[in-house]
């Protein structure tokens, strides 16, 4: 069983900043982590590997510092990792990102299963996993919250849907997107950290993947952020002060009148 896990390095939630002129996330100088939902995808892949044997390969697209995320995945138990990194990828939307990652997966070669986190915390679209499946022309099962059964021929999963759960089965190759209920991510181990420290992770750019530069980055992204603004929260209130018996009576009358006017009593 060969499993590929596309992950993303995202800004720590408290550190997220936006470039209002381009509508993109500012990543330079910001503390970054593995996208939390991707940790559940990694864990599920490792559990499947422990059951059926095989190999787990982590893949990400981002700046050179995204190597940190890949090394953390290796420290958790992932076997190999690949980084897709080139300045021409900067500003890619979900379409351009899915295209580039799908070409990287083709370059990696034969695989049985791709497991993605449901969405990334910095974009919150949930589109890249299904996008990869579309570019690779393979089936996708989304919102997986439980792996019911898996063998060398097919896997059976529970999926969250609007009115409950759906049980689906499918053969390979197949892409899953998972939610956090699917597993409990393990911590990196000392042995894993030593392996990650010495692991030489290949870095692939535009030319390595044979991509068309016109379809990459902002130039190749059909999604456009039209406007970014900070919401203004304004509240109007009326304060009633009660310092003595007389003012308490007046305050109670004011509150009762307010509630009556709003049809609350």
CATH code (residue 28): 3.40.50.620
Dist. CA 140–CA 126, nearest whole Å = 13
Q: What pLDDT, on a 0 to 100 scale, did the predictor assign at position 163?
A: 85
Q: Cα–Cα–Cα angle for 219, 225, 229, nearest 5°?
A: 145
Asked whether 91 and 221 are in contact (CB, 8 A), the reply is: yes
Residues 115 and 56 in one domain: yes
In this structure, is residue 56 part of a structural domain?
Answer: yes
In this structure, is residue 222 part of a structural domain?
Answer: no
3-class SS of residue 24: strand
3-class SS of residue 223: coil
Kindly give the confidence (pLDDT) of every residue in the chain, 265 residues in length, as a single tens digit, with 9 standing for 90 and above: 999 999 999 887 665 666 666 656 665 666 789 999 999 999 999 999 999 999 999 999 999 999 999 999 999 999 999 999 999 998 899 999 999 999 999 999 999 999 999 999 887 899 999 999 999 999 999 999 999 999 999 999 999 998 889 999 999 999 999 999 999 999 999 999 999 999 999 999 999 999 888 888 888 898 877 777 777 777 777 778 888 877 888 888 888 888 898 888 8
Residues 209 and 166 in one domain: yes
Asked whether 128 and 6 are in contact (CB, 8 A), the reply is: yes
Residues 201 and 248 in one domain: no
Rounded to the nearest 10 degrees, how much is the dihedral formed by the CA atoms of 48, 49, 55, 58? 50
Q: What is the dihedral sign for C-alpha 242, 246, 252, 253?
A: negative
Residues 126 and 211 in one domain: yes
Residues 183 and 246 in one domain: no
In this structure, is residue 229 part of a structural domain?
Answer: no
Task: Give the long-range contacts of residues 188-194, CB within 8 A, separation 24 or more.
Answer: 188/72, 188/75, 188/76, 189/75, 189/76, 189/77, 192/74, 192/75, 192/76, 192/77, 193/75
Residues 211 and 243 in one domain: no
Residues 156 and 250 in one domain: no
Tally of structural domains, the chain: 2
Q: What pLDDT, on a 0 to 100 scale, did the predictor assign at position 78?
A: 97
Residues 37 and 168 in one domain: yes
In this structure, is residue 141 part of a structural domain?
Answer: yes
3-class SS of residue 221: coil
In this structure, is residue 98 part of a structural domain?
Answer: yes
Residues 261 and 191 in one domain: no
Dist. CA 164–CA 145, nearest whole Å = 11
Q: What pLDDT, on a 0 to 100 scale, did the predictor assign at position 22?
A: 62
Q: Which of 205, 226, 221 is nearest to 97 (CA)?
A: 221
In this structure, is residue 224 part of a structural domain?
Answer: no
In this structure, is residue 119 part of a structural domain?
Answer: yes
Retrieve residue 139's tokens: 């089936």
Q: What pLDDT, on a 0 to 100 scale, did the predictor assign at position 46?
A: 97
Residues 203 and 88 in one domain: yes
Report how far apart, in Å, the C-alpha atoms of 246 and of each of 238, 239, 249, 250, 255 are.
19, 16, 5, 7, 15
Residues 133 and 259 in one domain: no
Residues 98 and 175 in one domain: yes
Retrieve residue 248's tokens: 């308490």
Range of 250's domain? 235-265
In this structure, is residue 226 part of a structural domain?
Answer: no
Please give the model's pTM, rounded to 2 decimal places.
0.80
Dist. CA 110–CA 213, nearest whole Å = 26
Asked whether 216 and 80 are in contact (CB, 8 A), the reply is: no
Dist. CA 104–CA 100, nearest whole Å = 6
């Amino acid at each position: 069983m060969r499993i590929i896990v596309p992950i993303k390095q995202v800004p720590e939630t408290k550190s997220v900043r936006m470039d209002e002129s381009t509508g993109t996330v500012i990543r330079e100088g910001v503390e970054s982590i593995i996208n939390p939902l991707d940790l559940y995808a990694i864990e599920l892949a490792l559990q499947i590997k422990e059951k059926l044997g095989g190999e787990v390969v982590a893949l990400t697209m981002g700046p050179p510092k995204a190597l940190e995320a890949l090394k953390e995945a290796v420290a958790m138990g992932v076997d190999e990792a690949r980084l897709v990194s080139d300045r021409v990828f900067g500003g890619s939307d979900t379409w351009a990102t899915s295209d580039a990652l799908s070409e990287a997966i083709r370059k990696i070669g034969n695989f049985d299963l791709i497991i993605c986190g449901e969405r990334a915390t910095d974009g919150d679209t949930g589109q890249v996993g299904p996008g990869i499946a579309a570019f690779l022309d393979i089936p996708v099962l989304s919102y997986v919250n439980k792996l019911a059964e898996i063998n060398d021929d097919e896997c059976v999963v529970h999926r969250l849907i609007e009115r409950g759960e759906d049980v689906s089965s499918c053969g390979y190759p197949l892409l899953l997107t998972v939610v956090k209920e699917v597993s409990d991510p393990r911590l990196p181990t000392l042995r894993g950290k030593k392996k990650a420290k010495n692991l030489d992770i290949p870095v692939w750019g535009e030319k390595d993947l044979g991509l068309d530069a016109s379809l990459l980055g902002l130039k190749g992204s059909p999604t456009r952020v039209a406007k970014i603004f900070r919401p203004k929260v304004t509240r109007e209130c009326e304060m009633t002060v009660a310092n003595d018996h007389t003012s308490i009576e007046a305050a109670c009358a004011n509150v009762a009148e307010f509630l009556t006017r709003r049809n609350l009593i």
